[in-house]
Amino acid sequence: MRTGKIIAWLGLIAMTAGLANGFINGDFFKDGGELFANPWGVMSLIDLYVGFTLFSMWIAFREKSFLAKLIWILAMMILGFFTGALYILYAFYTCKEDWATFFFGAKRDQVLK
C-alpha cells in the first residue's frame, strides 16, 4: 500500500502543478478551441472522458452514499484525474491497510460473502 500511496501522491502533485500552470499561463477558451480544431486533440478528450467514466464506475460501486457518489463523480468530470488521484489517496487512507476494503469500499462484506 505504501507504493500505491507514493504513486498517488506523485500523481496528485503533478496534476496540481499542471492545473496551476494551465490556469496561470493558459487561456482556457483559446487553447480549448485549438484542441477541438485538432483531430488528435478531440481523440485525447474522448480518451480522457472514457477513462473518467470507467474510473467513476469504480467510485459509484465502492461508495455507499448517493451524495458522496455524486460529488466524487462530478469532481472527476470537472477536474479529471486530479480527483482520481485524490480519490485513490482517500481510499488508501480509509481502508485500514485492507486491500478488499480498498477495492470494494462499502460493498466489501457483500462482495466477499
pLDDT of residue 24: 95
- Say how far residue 50 (Cα) sits from the centre of its chain: 12
pLDDT of residue 65: 96
- 74 — pLDDT class (breaks 50, 70, 90): very high
Domain span holding position 78? 2-112
Burial class (CB in 10 A: 0-12, 13-18, 19+), 51: middle
Q: What is the mean pLDDT of residues 57-78?
A: 97
Q: Is the pLDDT of residue 8 over 90?
A: yes
Question: What is the chain's Cα-based Rg?
Answer: 16
pLDDT of residue 28: 87
Q: What is the mean pLDDT of residues 60-74?
A: 97
- pTM score: 0.89
pLDDT of residue 84: 97
Q: What is the mean pLDDT of residues 91-101?
A: 96
**How many CB atoms are closer than 10 A to CB 35?**
13
Q: Count the domains in the chain.
A: 1
Name 67's Cβ contacts closer than 8 Å, sequence gap at least 6: none
Provide the mean pLDDT of the chain. 95
pLDDT of residue 20: 95
